[in-house]
Amino acid sequence: MRGQFTGWPEQAMDVLWQLQGEPSHAVRERCRADRERLVRQPMIALLNEVADADPRYEDFSVWHYRTDSWWWQHQSAVIRLGRKIEIGLRFSLDGLRIQGAWWYPDPGQVDMFRKAVASEGSGRELSAIVEDVRKKGYDISGDVMKRPPRGYPANHPRADLLRHRSLIAARPLGCEEWLHTPEAVNRTLSAAADLDALLMWLVRHVKRAA
């Protein structure tokens, strides 16, 4: 598949502009074919090239449309690296956005995460990784409790991480001219490399619960 992605055509922005607000059924149907060709298919081509560059990224999905107008205005995709551990991509009028996420955890995964955070070796490793990702311009978020969970001291050195029931690192990649060129592949791979240490830590320590 290498070489098929040439960037999102500039006309893709015109299609998304027509879908702003609360587009009627007639507007959606009028735009459907152009949106598929100019917005969704380039995302598929992009992820095929990303997967060609790194086989770990071969398990991906590019969403179809849904009832909510948001899904027509934003083209989303995920690359699965582990159970509930993903790279998410989103293309919209704001450009391309990436996130690395462990979210919507299975029963037992939160306990696994907390034990790994509390452990001196793996916990310090994650703390350093998160700080490094933050310095690279990523926002760190997730489902965060107001205080550390029961069974862990309030003054634990990694209390901020223990409060997480999910963990997300995200940032916009921009909306410059490169978005309409093959350079978007390199930009995506570079951002995925930024997130690699975080996601691989999660793959190692937040496995699927039995």
Q: Which domains does the chain have, with CATH numbers?
A: 11-205 (3.30.930.20)
Identity of the amino acid at 19: L
pLDDT of residue 1: 44
- For every residue of 45-107, DSSP letters joined together read HHHHHHHHH-GGG--EEE----SSTHHHH-EEEEEEEETTEEEEEEEETTEEEEEEEE-SPPT
Distance CA 195, CA 189 (A): 10
Q: Can you give the pTM of this predicted structure?
A: 0.92
State which H helix or E strand residue 141 sits in: strand 139-141
For residue 75, the number of C-alpha atoms closer than 13 Å in the C-beta half-sphere is: 24
pLDDT of residue 210: 45
pLDDT of residue 91: 98
- Could you tell me which residues are beta bridge partners of residue 139? 170
Count of CB atoms within 10 A of residue 58's CB?
Answer: 13
Nearby residues of 176 by Cβ (< 8 Å), 6 or more positions away = 95
pLDDT of residue 3: 58
pLDDT of residue 150: 87
- Find out whether 34 and 169 touch, Cβ atoms under 8 Å: no
Q: Is 178 helix (H, G, I), strand (E, B) or coil?
A: helix
Distance CA 51, CA 62 (A): 13
Distance CA 126, CA 160 (A): 12
Per-residue pLDDT of the chain (210 residues; tens, 9 = 90+): 455 999 999 999 999 999 999 999 999 999 999 999 999 999 999 999 999 999 999 999 999 988 899 999 999 999 999 999 999 999 999 999 999 999 999 989 999 999 999 999 999 999 999 999 999 999 999 999 998 888 888 889 899 999 999 999 999 999 999 999 999 999 999 999 999 999 999 999 997 644
